Amino acid sequence: MKEIYVAPHSKIPVGCLVKFEEEKQRYTVMASNVAFAICTKPMNAHKTVLYTIIDWGHDIRGRENLVFGMGAETQEQCEEMLERLTSGDSEVSERNDIPLKIEAIYYKQ
For residues 36 and 86, the answer to whether their CB atoms sit within 8 Å is yes
pLDDT tens for the chain, 109 residues long, are 788 777 767 789 999 999 999 999 999 999 999 999 999 999 877 778 999 999 999 999 999 998 776 789 999 999 999 999 999 999 999 998 999 999 999 987 6
Q: What is the pTM of this model?
A: 0.91
Q: Which residue ranges make up each domain of the chain?
A: 2-107
